[in-house]
Chain A
Amino acid sequence: MNSTAQPYAIMAEFDTPADAMHAAEQIRDAGFRRWDVHTPYPVHGMDAAMGLKNSKVGYFTFLGGLIGYTSGMLMIWFMNMYDYAIVVGGKPLFNPLFSFPVSYECTILLASFASLGGMLFLNGLPKHYHPLLKNPRFKAGASHDKFLIAIECADPRYSPTETRKLLEAAGSKHIEMVED
């Protein structure tokens, strides 16, 4: 680490999901804003322990599906009725029934892209740099079998001594500072 490095966050490691969850409850109750729990898999109940609201991905999905269905129907109407009408087998030029299968597939297609894209957008991904990913302890644990809590130094409630005490009291056996 070079001398110009600024502290980014205080990072505490926990061995079990229960310990991390109880620590998260305390940090939530202490009123921290800029902090996160990093776990190798989604821990059930952690959203409530962190005080997170329901994810907004669904809005993206709905919008994607709506655009998919409408554009599917419009495409078929435009191609087979408006732009170049040809009678085939005496069937109507446009009808929502025969247009449904294709429009339906377009609904699913665009809604799926919107779900993945919305998730990445809300998460701010892809991200090519994150200070935590430089930390060897973090890399060895967060995607393996440890549960890490990082409280950013930029949080208004952060204090170098009090925050460390809080994490120690919550049962962390390893606490260290992560540099930016």
Chain B
Amino acid sequence: MASNGHGDEPPIQPNPPPSELEREPLVLKQRSLAWLSDQIAGIVEGKTPKWWWPAFIVATLVMLMMFYMIGYLFSTGVGVWGLNQPVGWAWDITNFVFWIGIGHAGTLISAILFLLRQKWRTSINRAAEAMTLFAVACAGIFPLIHVGRIWYALWWLPPIPNSYSIWPQFRSPLLWDVFAVSTYGTVSLLFWYTGLIPDLATLRDRAKTKIRRFAYGLFALGWTGSNRHWSNYEKAYLLLAGLSTPLVLSVHSIVSFDFAVSQVPGWHTTIFPPYFVAGAIFSGFGMVLTLMIPLRSLCKLEDVITERHVELMCKVILGTGSIVGYAYGMEFFIAWYGGNPYELFAFKNRAFGPYWWAYWTMISCNVISPHLFWKRSFRRNMIFVWIVSIFVNIGMWFERFVIIVTSLHRDYMPSNWGYFKPTYVDVCTFVGSFGLFCFLFLLFMRFLPVIAISEVKGVTPQADPHHPLGGAKGGHH
């Protein structure tokens, strides 16, 4: 330990692994720890980019359109929507399941990939978790507004007795859903905030203005990077990941119970929980790619969110997309093999009935498009991946529409059959929810670090005390 070796060139690793086993680095160009904080914090500290304001104004206007539509809905009644008997759930619940599904990628990346020691998650987990929170916020709107007289929702959702002292009844999966989604939103927020604490401390220590120092300092809670603190912090982070993993699987399972526990043909199937979870991860990664590919080039983060990261996400899409495709096939097989004529009719009606166009849009987006990612050059073509991610988003919205609307519109009694058509209020409310989503995401990327700075630092070779770049002397360990 006599010499400290500062200023010497980094020693060469004695036995490099064979080239075919060498993995692409997670941070390209051997960027230093200082570069990482300068570059990522620089997005927040630098001047507002030129494209940000137009994007923000458009997002705000679209969001305001949604609030206007919701105001119109409240003041007039649910008759302004297209749903009616027999289709009592339509766009509202489709949008809810769509958004909540998107939210699943964030927790999958932050929790499950953490437990699986997938170090590449560090470059994308912060933004994906933010996306989760904003998607859950969008999702939460729809079940809330679809109840009609929303001022009574306080007595339907949380366990508060109504004026006859009657409590909500817990045998209903709809109430399970209230607990699942609200727990999911809360725990995602806690997990996200826990990850933010060290980065907020970085922003606090770099802050040039008083307001920034105060605001970041307030939320950094006095973090000093102490190793005694890191020790507890890492344990808490691991436990939160361990808690979030079953949570993320349970949330979409419980969402699927909203359907599967009912008696409606097309809904009453045991495949729903795993099929919904796989679909949620599929759609969530689609949305992560839709956001990350522009983000990495607009914020000059190509060295941190590398092509390898995009490629790995494409592989997740391929894997979960295959499960979704398998589930579509298996549903049909069981509808025939189960011998229930109503079930078989529901599925024939799905593919060849009046909503055939929705069904085949879903199939072409969700079954065909992920399989393009078998080819490596497709996974590495950013524009191509972005376009496919849009198809995944479209396909997964249609999946929920198909499940909900086609199962309801023709039930047991033909005299009760109908055809659902959305009104402009339906459409504008849904489009407006994208405005809210973009509004929140644009604010996030302007005021908080879009990449977990301390976590990315931790996966670089110069952060490893046993690596030559981290200062380890050859043969010392």
Contact A17-B170, Cβ < 8 Å, known A111-B243, A144-B34, A145-B33:
no
A157 at the interface (CB under 8 A from B): no
Judge whether A105 and B183 touch: CB under 8 Å.
yes
CB neighbours (8 Å) of B323 from chain A are: none
Contact residues in A for B231 (Cβ distance below 8 Å)? 42, 47, 52, 55
Interchain CB contact (< 8 A) of A112 among B243, B250, B455: B243
Query: Is B381 part of the contact surface with A, judged by Cβ < 8 Å?
Result: no
Nearest Cβ on chain A to B106's Cβ, whole angstroms: 15
Verify B6–A52 contact, CB threshold 8 A: no
Asked whether A140 is an interface residue with its Cβ less than 8 Å from the other chain, the reply is yes
B353: interface (CB < 8 Å): no
Contact assessment for B179 and A41 in the assembled complex, using a CB-CB cutoff below 8 Å: no
- Binary contact track B457-473/A, C-beta < 8 Å → 1, others 0: 11000111110001111
From known contacts A37-B226, A58-B235, A115-B236, infer whether A109 and B187 are also in contact, taking CB-CB under 8 Å.
Answer: yes
Q: Complex Cα distance A86/B33, Å?
A: 62
Q: Given A101-B179, A106-B179, is A16 in contact with B470 using a C-beta cutoff of 8 Å? A: yes
CB-defined contacts of B201 to chain A, threshold 8 Å: 143
Q: Are B240 and A116 in contact (CB under 8 A)?
A: yes
Residues 171-186 of chain B: 1 if any A CB is under 8 Å from the residue's CB, otherwise 0? 1110110011001001
On whether the beta carbons of A18 and B471 are closer than 8 Å, the reply is: yes
Among candidates B183, B228, B473, residue contacting A52 with C-beta atoms closer than 8 Å: B228
Per the 8 Å Cβ criterion, residues 48-102 of A in contact with B are 50, 52, 54-58, 61, 65, 75-76, 79-80, 83-84, 86, 88-89, 91, 98-99, 101-102
- Range of interface residues on A (Cβ < 8 Å): 35 or more
A108/B187 in contact, CB under 8 A: yes
A30 on the interface (CB 8 Å rule)? no
Chain B residues with Cβ under 8 A from A145's Cβ?
A: 32-34, 37, 457
Complex Cα gap A126–B222 (Å): 6
- The verdict on B302 contacting chain A, using a C-beta distance below 8 Å, is no
Q: Separation in Å of the A40 CB from the closest CB of chain B?
A: 6
Question: Is the CB of B58 closer than 8 A to any CB of chain A?
Answer: no
- Of the candidates B190, B223, B254, the one having the most CB atoms from chain A within 10 angstroms of its own CB is B223
Contact B175 A102 (CB under 8 A): yes
Interface stretch, picked from B161-169, B328-336, B390-398, is B161-169
Q: Does B246 contact A (CB under 8 A)?
A: yes
Task: Write out the residue numbers on chain A whose beta carbons fall within 8 Å of the beta carbon of B466.
Answer: 18, 45
* Min CB–CB distance B353 → chain A (angstroms): 30
Interface residues on B, range: 35 or more
| Among A55, A75, A89, contact of B232 (Cβ-Cβ < 8 Å) | A55
From residue 212 to 247 of chain B, which have CB atoms closer than 8 A to chain A? 221-236, 239-240, 243-244, 246-247
- Contacting pair A123 B176 (CB below 8 A): no
Whether A142 is near chain B, meaning CB under 8 Å from some CB there, is: yes
Nearest Cβ on chain B to A51's Cβ, whole angstroms = 11
A16 with B465: CB separation less than 8 A:
yes
Residues of chain A contacted by B101 (CB below 8 angstroms): none
Main secondary structure of the interface of B (DSSP, over half): helix
CB under 8 Å from chain A, chain B span 233-278: 233-236, 239-240, 243-244, 246-247, 250, 254, 257
Q: Which residues of B contact A24 (CB under 8 A)?
A: 227
- Whether the Cβ atoms of A17 and B464 lie closer than 8 Å is yes
The contact of A17 among B172, B187, B228, B465, by CB within 8 Å, is: B465
Interface string of B51-82 (1 = CB under 8 A from A): 00000000000000000000000000000000
Residues of chain B within 8 A (CB-CB) of A105 are 176, 179-180, 183, 247, 250
Question: Is A104 in contact with chain B by the CB < 8 A criterion?
Answer: yes
Instruction: A120 to B455: give the CA distance in the assembly, Å.
Output: 19
Residue B191 CB within 8 A of the other chain:
yes
Give CA–CA (A76, B202) in the complex, Å. 45
Q: Is B198 an interface residue (CB 8 A)?
A: yes
List which B27-50 residues lie within 8 A (CB) of chain A. Answer: 32-34, 37
Bound-state CA distance A113–B243 (Å) is 11
Q: Are B227 and A44 in contact (CB under 8 A)?
A: no
How close is A42's CB to chain B, nearest CB, in angstroms?
4
Given contacts A58-B235, A75-B159, A104-B250, contact A171 B1 (CB under 8 A): yes
CB pair B166 A84 closer than 8 Å: yes
Given A45-B466, A102-B175, A143-B201, do A39 and B227 touch, yes or no (CB 8 Å)? yes
Q: How far is the CA of A40 from the CA of B202 in the complex (A)?
A: 8
One of B159, B169, B173 near A86 (C-beta < 8 A): B169
Are A88 and B227 in contact, CB atoms less than 8 angstroms apart?
no
Complex Cα spacing A43 to B465, Å: 7
12 CB contacts below 8 A, A to B, read A16-B462, A36-B226, A42-B454, A43-B227, A45-B466, A47-B231, A108-B250, A116-B236, A120-B221, A143-B37, A144-B206, A145-B33
6 smallest beta-carbon distances between A and B, as pairs: A16-B471, A18-B471, A127-B222, A171-B4, A119-B236, A145-B33
A residues whose Cβ falls under 8 Å from a Cβ of B: 15-22, 24, 26, 36-47, 50, 52, 54-58, 61, 65, 75-76, 79-80, 83-84, 86, 88-89, 91, 98-99, 101-102, 104-106, 108-109, 111-113, 115-116, 118-120, 122-123, 125-130, 132-133, 139-140, 142-145, 169-171, 173
Q: Which residues of B contact A (CB under 8 A)?
A: 1, 4, 6, 32-34, 37, 159, 161, 165-173, 175-176, 179-180, 183, 186-187, 190-191, 193-194, 198, 201-202, 204-206, 221-236, 239-240, 243-244, 246-247, 250, 254, 257, 453-455, 457-458, 462-466, 470-473
Known contacts A36-B227, A115-B240, A145-B32; 4 additional CB pairs below 8 A are A16-B6, A44-B464, A45-B465, A127-B221
